[in-house]
Protein backbone atom coordinates (compact mmCIF):
# COMPACT_ATOMS: atom_id res chain seq x y z
CA UNK A 1 0.00 0.00 0.00
CA UNK A 2 1.38 3.39 -1.06
CA UNK A 3 1.70 6.10 1.56
CA UNK A 4 0.27 9.31 0.11
CA UNK A 5 0.86 11.70 3.01
CA UNK A 6 4.60 11.99 2.48
CA UNK A 7 6.94 14.59 4.01
CA UNK A 8 6.85 16.46 0.68
CA UNK A 9 3.05 16.67 0.84
CA UNK A 10 3.19 17.84 4.46
CA UNK A 11 5.68 20.51 3.44
CA UNK A 12 3.16 21.87 0.92
CA UNK A 13 0.64 22.70 3.67
CA UNK A 14 0.32 26.42 4.11
CA UNK A 15 0.94 27.12 0.42
CA UNK A 16 -0.97 30.17 -0.82
CA UNK A 17 -1.93 31.33 -4.31
CA UNK A 18 -3.72 34.55 -5.25
CA UNK A 19 -5.50 35.53 -8.44
CA UNK A 20 -6.86 38.93 -9.42
CA UNK A 21 -9.63 38.72 -12.00
CA UNK A 22 -8.67 40.59 -15.17
CA UNK A 23 -12.13 42.15 -15.50
CA UNK A 24 -15.32 42.79 -13.49
CA UNK A 25 -17.64 39.82 -12.99
CA UNK A 26 -20.18 41.31 -15.47
CA UNK A 27 -23.93 41.06 -15.95
CA UNK A 28 -23.39 38.67 -18.86
CA UNK A 29 -21.61 36.15 -16.61
CA UNK A 30 -24.36 36.47 -14.01
CA UNK A 31 -27.13 35.98 -16.57
CA UNK A 32 -25.51 32.96 -18.20
CA UNK A 33 -24.84 31.28 -14.86
CA UNK A 34 -28.46 31.82 -13.78
CA UNK A 35 -29.67 30.23 -17.01
CA UNK A 36 -27.23 27.32 -16.66
CA UNK A 37 -28.58 26.38 -13.20
CA UNK A 38 -32.23 26.91 -14.15
CA UNK A 39 -32.68 30.07 -12.08
CA UNK A 40 -34.80 33.07 -13.05
CA UNK A 41 -32.35 35.40 -14.86
CA UNK A 42 -34.69 38.31 -14.09
CA UNK A 43 -33.88 37.97 -10.40
CA UNK A 44 -30.10 37.96 -10.90
CA UNK A 45 -28.91 41.07 -12.72
CA UNK A 46 -26.78 43.42 -10.61
CA UNK A 47 -26.08 40.74 -7.98
CA UNK A 48 -24.83 37.23 -8.73
CA UNK A 49 -26.35 33.94 -7.54
CA UNK A 50 -24.42 33.30 -4.33
CA UNK A 51 -22.36 30.28 -5.39
CA UNK A 52 -21.21 31.69 -8.75
CA UNK A 53 -17.94 33.15 -7.46
CA UNK A 54 -17.10 29.85 -5.75
CA UNK A 55 -17.60 27.89 -8.98
CA UNK A 56 -16.30 29.97 -11.85
CA UNK A 57 -12.78 29.69 -13.24
CA UNK A 58 -13.24 33.15 -14.75
CA UNK A 59 -11.62 34.69 -11.68
CA UNK A 60 -8.17 33.14 -12.13
CA UNK A 61 -7.42 35.07 -15.29
CA UNK A 62 -5.49 32.07 -16.60
CA UNK A 63 -5.23 31.93 -20.39
CA UNK A 64 -3.66 28.47 -20.81
CA UNK A 65 -5.65 25.46 -19.58
CA UNK A 66 -3.97 22.49 -17.93
CA UNK A 67 -3.80 18.96 -19.37
CA UNK A 68 -7.46 18.39 -18.50
CA UNK A 69 -8.51 21.62 -20.30
CA UNK A 70 -9.18 23.27 -16.93
CA UNK A 71 -8.61 26.99 -16.27
CA UNK A 72 -9.37 27.01 -12.55
CA UNK A 73 -7.02 26.72 -9.60
CA UNK A 74 -5.47 23.30 -9.00
CA UNK A 75 -3.04 21.99 -6.40
CA UNK A 76 -0.01 20.34 -7.99
CA UNK A 77 0.81 18.19 -4.97
CA UNK A 78 4.07 16.19 -4.97
CA UNK A 79 2.25 12.85 -4.69
CA UNK A 80 4.35 9.68 -4.96
CA UNK A 81 1.99 8.11 -7.52
CA UNK A 82 -0.46 9.37 -10.12
CA UNK A 83 -3.80 10.07 -8.44
CA UNK A 84 -7.32 10.99 -9.42
CA UNK A 85 -8.91 13.89 -7.58
CA UNK A 86 -12.57 14.26 -6.73
CA UNK A 87 -14.41 16.83 -4.65
CA UNK A 88 -15.55 15.62 -1.26
CA UNK A 89 -17.62 18.68 -0.38
CA UNK A 90 -17.71 22.40 0.26
CA UNK A 91 -18.53 24.83 3.04
CA UNK A 92 -19.49 28.24 1.64
CA UNK A 93 -19.94 31.31 3.85
CA UNK A 94 -21.30 34.43 2.17
CA UNK A 95 -20.59 37.90 3.59
CA UNK A 96 -22.15 40.08 0.91
CA UNK A 97 -23.51 39.42 -2.59
CA UNK A 98 -21.04 39.71 -5.45
CA UNK A 99 -21.98 42.45 -7.90
CA UNK A 100 -21.56 42.66 -11.66
CA UNK A 101 -18.94 45.43 -11.29
CA UNK A 102 -16.80 43.66 -8.68
CA UNK A 103 -13.20 42.90 -9.65
CA UNK A 104 -12.58 39.86 -7.45
CA UNK A 105 -9.36 38.70 -5.83
CA UNK A 106 -9.24 35.01 -4.87
CA UNK A 107 -6.72 33.70 -2.35
CA UNK A 108 -6.32 29.94 -1.90
CA UNK A 109 -4.54 28.37 1.07
CA UNK A 110 -3.76 24.68 1.52
CA UNK A 111 -4.72 24.05 5.15
CA UNK A 112 -4.77 20.32 5.99
CA UNK A 113 -4.13 16.79 4.74
CA UNK A 114 -4.96 13.42 6.28
CA UNK A 115 -4.67 9.87 5.01
CA UNK A 116 -7.16 7.03 5.46
CA UNK A 117 -8.24 3.78 3.85
CA UNK A 118 -11.20 3.23 1.58
CA UNK A 119 -13.57 0.26 1.92
CA UNK A 120 -11.24 -1.90 -0.16
CA UNK A 121 -8.21 -1.06 1.98
CA UNK A 122 -6.67 1.34 -0.54
CA UNK A 123 -5.08 4.67 0.35
CA UNK A 124 -6.97 7.94 0.16
CA UNK A 125 -5.57 11.41 0.80
CA UNK A 126 -8.07 13.97 2.10
CA UNK A 127 -6.89 17.52 1.47
CA UNK A 128 -8.55 20.71 2.74
CA UNK A 129 -8.11 24.14 1.19
CA UNK A 130 -9.72 27.51 1.81
CA UNK A 131 -10.50 30.22 -0.71
CA UNK A 132 -11.27 33.83 0.17
CA UNK A 133 -13.04 36.02 -2.37
CA UNK A 134 -12.74 39.79 -1.96
CA UNK A 135 -13.62 42.92 -3.90
CA UNK A 136 -11.28 45.63 -2.70
CA UNK A 137 -11.54 45.68 1.10
CA UNK A 138 -14.86 43.79 1.08
CA UNK A 139 -14.79 40.08 1.89
CA UNK A 140 -17.45 38.49 -0.31
CA UNK A 141 -17.25 34.82 0.69
CA UNK A 142 -15.07 31.97 1.85
CA UNK A 143 -15.02 28.42 0.53
CA UNK A 144 -13.58 25.53 2.53
CA UNK A 145 -13.16 22.65 0.10
CA UNK A 146 -12.36 19.01 0.69
CA UNK A 147 -10.59 17.11 -2.10
CA UNK A 148 -9.96 13.37 -2.17
CA UNK A 149 -6.94 11.97 -3.99
CA UNK A 150 -6.94 8.27 -4.93
CA UNK A 151 -4.22 6.35 -6.79
CA UNK A 152 -5.14 5.52 -10.37
CA UNK A 153 -4.69 1.86 -11.18
CA UNK A 154 -6.38 -1.54 -11.06
CA UNK A 155 -7.65 -0.86 -7.53
CA UNK A 156 -9.38 2.37 -8.50
CA UNK A 157 -13.18 2.14 -8.71
CA UNK A 158 -15.51 4.03 -11.02
CA UNK A 159 -15.29 7.34 -9.18
CA UNK A 160 -12.61 8.60 -11.56
CA UNK A 161 -10.72 11.91 -11.62
CA UNK A 162 -12.75 14.46 -9.66
CA UNK A 163 -15.39 11.73 -9.56
CA UNK A 164 -17.49 12.95 -6.73
CA UNK A 165 -17.66 16.12 -8.71
CA UNK A 166 -21.20 14.89 -8.61
CA UNK A 167 -24.01 17.17 -9.53
CA UNK A 168 -27.59 17.36 -10.37
CA UNK A 169 -30.32 16.68 -12.84
CA UNK A 170 -34.10 16.06 -13.26
CA UNK A 171 -37.27 17.57 -14.70
CA UNK A 172 -37.74 20.54 -12.37
CA UNK A 173 -38.79 22.82 -15.19
CA UNK A 174 -36.73 22.27 -18.32
CA UNK A 175 -33.12 21.46 -19.07
CA UNK A 176 -30.61 24.18 -19.84
CA UNK A 177 -30.62 23.22 -23.51
CA UNK A 178 -34.32 24.18 -23.62
CA UNK A 179 -34.20 26.99 -21.05
CA UNK A 180 -31.48 29.25 -22.48
CA UNK A 181 -33.07 32.53 -23.41
CA UNK A 182 -36.28 31.88 -21.45
CA UNK A 183 -37.40 33.24 -18.09
CA UNK A 184 -38.19 30.67 -15.41
CA UNK A 185 -40.26 32.06 -12.53
CA UNK A 186 -40.95 30.15 -9.31
CA UNK A 187 -43.39 31.38 -6.69
CA UNK A 188 -41.83 31.55 -3.20
CA UNK A 189 -43.61 30.33 -0.09
CA UNK A 190 -45.08 32.99 2.22
CA UNK A 191 -42.68 33.74 5.05
CA UNK A 192 -45.10 32.48 7.70
CA UNK A 193 -45.13 29.05 6.03
CA UNK A 194 -41.35 28.67 6.29
CA UNK A 195 -41.61 26.99 9.67
CA UNK A 196 -39.64 24.09 11.23
CA UNK A 197 -40.57 20.69 9.86
CA UNK A 198 -41.95 22.01 6.58
CA UNK A 199 -40.58 20.42 3.43
CA UNK A 200 -39.52 22.66 0.57
CA UNK A 201 -40.77 21.97 -2.91
CA UNK A 202 -38.17 19.53 -4.32
CA UNK A 203 -36.08 20.61 -7.27
CA UNK A 204 -36.09 17.88 -9.92
CA UNK A 205 -33.70 18.01 -12.81
CA UNK A 206 -32.32 15.77 -15.51
CA UNK A 207 -28.92 16.89 -16.76
CA UNK A 208 -28.04 15.87 -20.27
CA UNK A 209 -24.57 16.22 -21.73
CA UNK A 210 -25.64 19.49 -23.39
CA UNK A 211 -26.64 20.87 -19.98
CA UNK A 212 -23.24 19.93 -18.58
CA UNK A 213 -21.53 21.73 -21.46
CA UNK A 214 -23.68 24.83 -20.85
CA UNK A 215 -22.79 24.83 -17.16
CA UNK A 216 -19.11 24.34 -18.00
CA UNK A 217 -19.20 27.33 -20.31
CA UNK A 218 -20.98 29.45 -17.68
CA UNK A 219 -18.25 28.65 -15.15
CA UNK A 220 -15.30 28.71 -17.57
CA UNK A 221 -14.75 25.06 -16.67
CA UNK A 222 -13.87 22.89 -19.64
CA UNK A 223 -12.50 19.95 -17.69
CA UNK A 224 -12.66 16.99 -20.09
CA UNK A 225 -14.16 14.72 -17.44
CA UNK A 226 -17.47 16.57 -17.85
CA UNK A 227 -17.97 16.04 -21.59
CA UNK A 228 -15.34 13.68 -23.05
CA UNK A 229 -16.60 10.10 -22.68
CA UNK A 230 -13.32 8.50 -23.73
CA UNK A 231 -11.39 10.62 -21.23
CA UNK A 232 -13.89 9.78 -18.47
CA UNK A 233 -13.53 6.06 -19.17
CA UNK A 234 -9.75 6.28 -19.07
CA UNK A 235 -10.13 7.69 -15.56
CA UNK A 236 -12.47 4.90 -14.50
CA UNK A 237 -15.86 6.58 -14.91
CA UNK A 238 -18.56 4.89 -17.05
CA UNK A 239 -19.68 8.24 -18.49
CA UNK A 240 -18.89 11.96 -18.18
CA UNK A 241 -19.48 13.25 -14.65
CA UNK A 242 -21.57 16.23 -13.66
CA UNK A 243 -19.45 18.86 -11.91
CA UNK A 244 -19.84 18.40 -8.15
CA UNK A 245 -19.99 22.14 -7.50
CA UNK A 246 -23.10 22.36 -9.62
CA UNK A 247 -24.84 20.50 -6.81
CA UNK A 248 -24.14 23.42 -4.53
CA UNK A 249 -25.67 25.81 -7.04
CA UNK A 250 -28.78 23.65 -7.36
CA UNK A 251 -29.15 23.30 -3.59
CA UNK A 252 -28.90 27.07 -3.25
CA UNK A 253 -31.48 27.50 -6.00
CA UNK A 254 -33.82 24.98 -4.32
CA UNK A 255 -33.76 26.99 -1.09
CA UNK A 256 -33.80 30.49 -2.56
CA UNK A 257 -36.72 29.87 -4.89
CA UNK A 258 -38.79 28.81 -1.87
CA UNK A 259 -37.71 31.79 0.24
CA UNK A 260 -37.96 34.41 -2.47
CA UNK A 261 -36.05 37.72 -2.68
CA UNK A 262 -36.67 38.46 1.02
CA UNK A 263 -33.94 36.04 2.11
CA UNK A 264 -30.17 35.89 1.57
CA UNK A 265 -28.06 32.74 1.68
CA UNK A 266 -25.31 33.14 4.29
CA UNK A 267 -23.97 29.58 4.49
CA UNK A 268 -24.15 26.38 2.45
CA UNK A 269 -22.44 23.13 3.46
CA UNK A 270 -22.65 19.90 1.48
CA UNK A 271 -20.83 16.59 1.20
CA UNK A 272 -20.64 14.65 -2.05
CA UNK A 273 -21.21 10.94 -1.48
CA UNK A 274 -21.42 9.50 -5.01
CA UNK A 275 -20.92 10.68 -8.59
CA UNK A 276 -23.73 11.74 -10.92
CA UNK A 277 -23.35 10.87 -14.58
CA UNK A 278 -24.59 12.53 -17.74
CA UNK A 279 -28.27 11.84 -18.34
CA UNK A 280 -29.15 11.05 -14.73
CA UNK A 281 -31.92 12.78 -12.79
CA UNK A 282 -31.38 14.33 -9.38
CA UNK A 283 -33.83 15.53 -6.77
CA UNK A 284 -32.80 18.29 -4.35
CA UNK A 285 -34.87 18.07 -1.17
CA UNK A 286 -35.01 20.20 1.95
CA UNK A 287 -36.74 20.39 5.31
CA UNK A 288 -36.72 23.53 7.44
CA UNK A 289 -34.80 22.87 10.65
CA UNK A 290 -35.05 26.20 12.49
CA UNK A 291 -36.81 29.52 11.92
CA UNK A 292 -36.85 32.82 13.80
CA UNK A 293 -36.96 36.57 13.21
CA UNK A 294 -33.37 36.55 11.93
CA UNK A 295 -33.78 33.82 9.30
CA UNK A 296 -34.08 30.07 8.92
CA UNK A 297 -32.00 26.96 8.30
CA UNK A 298 -32.66 23.96 6.06
CA UNK A 299 -31.45 20.37 6.11
CA UNK A 300 -30.80 19.33 2.52
CA UNK A 301 -29.93 16.31 0.39
CA UNK A 302 -29.63 15.29 -3.25
CA UNK A 303 -30.67 11.88 -4.54
CA UNK A 304 -30.63 9.94 -7.79
CA UNK A 305 -33.42 7.39 -7.58
CA UNK A 306 -33.07 5.69 -4.22
CA UNK A 307 -29.40 6.66 -3.82
CA UNK A 308 -28.28 9.67 -1.81
CA UNK A 309 -25.52 11.41 -3.75
CA UNK A 310 -25.21 14.47 -1.50
CA UNK A 311 -25.69 14.23 2.28
CA UNK A 312 -25.46 15.70 4.75
CA UNK A 313 -26.11 19.22 3.53
CA UNK A 314 -27.22 22.36 5.31
CA UNK A 315 -28.17 25.94 4.43
CA UNK A 316 -28.55 29.03 6.59
CA UNK A 317 -30.49 32.03 5.33
CA UNK A 318 -31.00 35.51 6.77
CA UNK A 319 -33.99 37.76 6.21
CA UNK A 320 -33.07 40.94 4.40
CA UNK A 321 -34.25 44.37 5.45
CA UNK A 322 -37.72 45.21 4.25
User: Domain span at residue 170?
Assistant: 7-319
- 3-state SS, one letter per residue, for 73-131: CCCCCCCCCCEEEEEEEEEEEECCCCECCCCCEEEEEEEEEEEEECCCCCEEEEEEEEE
Q: What is the pLDDT of residues 68-120, one digit of tens each?
A: 788 899 998 999 998 888 889 999 999 999 999 999 999 999 999 999 998 88
Q: Give pLDDT, residue 116.
A: 94
Contact 168, 37 (CB under 8 A): no
Model pLDDT, residue 11: 97
What mean pLDDT is reported for the chain? 87
CB 279 within 8 A of CB 208: yes
| Mean pLDDT along residues 197-221 | 93
SS3 label, residue 27:
helix
Beta carbons within 10 angstroms of residue 39's beta carbon: 22
CATH number, domain with residue 225: 3.10.129.10
pLDDT of residue 97: 97
Asked whether residue 29 is assigned to any structural domain, the reply reads yes
The pLDDT-based confidence of 322 (bands split at 50, 70, 90) is low
Whole-number pLDDT of residue 49 = 97
Compute the distance between CA of residue 313 and CA of residue 91 in angstroms, rounded to an integer. 9
pLDDT (mean) for 275-299: 95
pLDDT band at 153 (very low <50, low <70, confident <90, very high): low
Domain count along the chain: 1
Q: What does the radius of gyration of the chain's CA atoms come to, in whole angstroms?
A: 19
pLDDT tens digits, 231-266: 788 777 788 889 989 999 999 999 999 998 889 999
Confidence bin at 186 (pLDDT 50/70/90) = low
pLDDT score at 167:
30
Of 301, 297, 299, nearest in space to 317 by CA: 297
In a domain, 2, yes or no: no
Residue 196 CA to residue 199 CA, distance in Å, equals 9
13, 59, 153, 288 from 112: Cα distances, Å: 6, 24, 25, 32
pLDDT-derived band at 178 (thresholds 50, 70, 90) equals very low
Give a yes or no: residue 47 inside a domain: yes
Q: How confident is the model at residue 289 (pLDDT cuts 50, 70, 90)?
A: very high
Q: Is residue 1 part of a domain?
A: no
**Which pLDDT score, from 0 to 100, does residue 302 have?**
98
Task: Flag whether 16 is in a domain.
Answer: yes
Residue pair 93/287 in contact by the 8 Å Cβ criterion? no
Amino acid sequence: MTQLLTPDVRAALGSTYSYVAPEPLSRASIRYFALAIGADPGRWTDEAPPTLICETAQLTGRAVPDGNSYLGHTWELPLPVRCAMFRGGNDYRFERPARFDDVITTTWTLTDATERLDRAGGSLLLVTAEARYAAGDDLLATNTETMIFRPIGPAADDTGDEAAESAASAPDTVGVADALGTSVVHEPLPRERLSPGRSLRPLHRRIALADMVAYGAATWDWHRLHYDEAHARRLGAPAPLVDGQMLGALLAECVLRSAGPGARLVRLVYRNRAPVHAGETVVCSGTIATSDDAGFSVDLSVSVGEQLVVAPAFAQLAWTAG
